[in-house]
Amino acid sequence: METKRPCLIDHYERRLNYLRISITDRCNLRCRYCMPSEGLEKLAHEDILTYEEILRLARIAVGLGVDKIRLTGGEPLVRKDFPHLLPELMSIPGLKDVSITTNGIYLKEHLENIRSAGVSRINISLDSLKRDRYRKITGFDGFERVREAIQLAQTLGFHPIKINMVVLKGINDDEVADFARLSTRYPFHVRFIEYMPSGLLLHNEPLHHVSNAVIRERLEAVEPLIQLPRKPTDGPTVRYRFEGAQGEIGFISPLTHHFCQVCNRLRLTAKGHLRPCLLSDEELDLRGPMRAGATDRDLEDIFVGAADHKPRAHHLNSKDSESLSGQMSAIGG
Ligand code: SAM
Ligand code: SF4
């Protein structure tokens, strides 16, 4: 008799249907909240999952009920032949939603391929609307490239186009109203992400942290925000919009607002480890067993093990300066 396939439900009744895959630890930017200017030690080429391995793990995850996959990095678009991964990923039966998180630098040249593979959802990280400041934050004079990519994404019918801003006190927090206003004029979903201080980046003292509650207050002073009803797909985002706006505004507050009770995610790191929680260092190795000949069933068990290890909640708060010890670029954010 056929045994019933396990499903990814954790000990706290959360159904884990969302997998974020970091397809590379490499990046062409050096965002000051994510990487030191000299870069981080890179994984050896052979330590990074191959496309075949990524696809195999994605199929297994979908077989276990994952229906949403986001490709991230490092910067996913620096991985060679990136567009070849998409059509195969899109053809996995049962996978309803594939999206990409990118810094936008190489996006323009990839957009048509991404769209023709059937992907319409894209998240673009952008932390300043000022060219010089963008360069200071990312270490690269790339603002115009990102702006053009966003414009083209709109022309090609991507929706939603999410613009993710990590807000840093004293660095870009004076631009939050300008970012929010983008959602009035354009159908963009502007997302304010609380900065998570990283133990790897000692220059990024917790002093740069600014809570989303403060940002919301500042926006309310500009114009009242209307809270939008929660959708099952919202995950950790709390959504608002300005009256009559084409787009919306979202707040992701990992530190000041525990969103763990609605967390439906697992993360697959660039080196093939499953990470049950972004803010805990525990990881389960998939690559080792896979390369040693594990069957799909064995790998399924590791996925189920990751669900079993998902903590009820993280224990960090905005006062922890050494809190995030993993490399965001290898985990995928
Ligand atoms: N390179 C791509 C990008 O920047 O969009 C994808 C990878 S990046 C690690 C994914 C997300 O993590 C980005 O939106 C980035 O802003 C966010 N991120 C990185 N370090 C962070 C930190 N210390 N605190 C909050 N968000 C962070
Ligand atoms: Fe690169 Fe993204 Fe990290 Fe910036 S946030 S350094 S673009 S991985």
| pLDDT tens track for 146-199 | 999 999 999 999 999 999 999 999 999 999 999 999 999 999 999 999 988 765
Please check the confidence at residue 202 and state whether its pLDDT lies above 60. Answer: no
Angle of the 82-90 helix axis to the 107-116 helix axis, nearest 10: 20
Question: Which of 34, 100, 179 has the most ligand 1 atoms within 8 A of CB, as the residue to mutate?
Answer: 34
DSSP letter string, 87-137: HHHHTSTT--EEEEEE-STTHHHHHHHHHHTT--EEEEE---SSHHHHHHH
Interval 77-130: pLDDT, tens: 999 878 789 999 999 999 999 999 999 999 999 999 999 999 999 999 999 999
Round to whole Å and give the CA distance between 296 and 318.
Answer: 40
Residue 6 inside a domain? The answer is no
Q: With bands split at pLDDT 50, 70 and 90, how would you rate the model's confidence at 1?
A: very low
- 34 falls within a domain: yes
**Residue 260 DSSP class:** G
Check if the beta carbon of residue 166 is closer than 8 Å to that of residue 215.
no
Ligand 1 pocket check for 75: Cβ under 6 Å: yes
The verdict on residue 12 lying in a domain is no
Q: Answer yes or no: pTM beyond 0.85.
A: yes
Give CA 294 to chain center in angstroms: 29
Inside any domain, residue 190: yes
Q: What is the CA(31)–ligand 2 centre distance, in A? A: 5
Does 242 have pLDDT greater than 80?
Answer: yes
DSSP 290: H
Closest residue CA from atom 3 of ligand 2: 34
Residue 37: band (very low, low, confident or very high) from pLDDT cuts 50, 70, 90: confident
Which pair of structure tokens corresponds to residue 135?
Answer: 């360069």
**Mean pLDDT computed over 230-259:** 89
pLDDT computed for residue 320 by the predictor:
46
3 lies in some domain: no
Ligand 1 geometric centre to CA of 163 (Å): 12
Structure tokens at 44: 């050896």
Asked if residue 313 is part of any domain, the answer here is yes
Q: Does residue 13 form part of some domain?
A: no
CATH number reported for the structural domain that contains residue 172 in this entry: 3.20.20.70
Q: Is 99 in the pocket of ligand 1 (CB under 6 A)?
A: no
Query: Which ligand 2 atom is at minimum distance from the Cα of 166?
Result: 5
Mutating to test ligand 1, I would choose from 138, 314, 328 the residue with most ligand atoms within 8 A of its C-beta, which is: 328
- Ligand (nearest to CA of 75): 1
Q: Residue range 45-57: average pLDDT?
A: 97
Q: How far is the CA of 228 from the centre of ligand 1 (A)?
A: 25
Residues 6 or more apart in contact with residue 179 via CB below 8 angstroms: 129, 163, 165, 190, 192
> How confident is the model at residue 282, as a pLDDT?
86
- Both tokens of 24, joined, read 């590379």
Domain interval for residue 151: 18-330
In a domain, 133, yes or no: yes
Percent of the chain scoring above 70 in pLDDT: 89
3-state secondary structure of 330: helix
For the chain, the domain total comes to 1
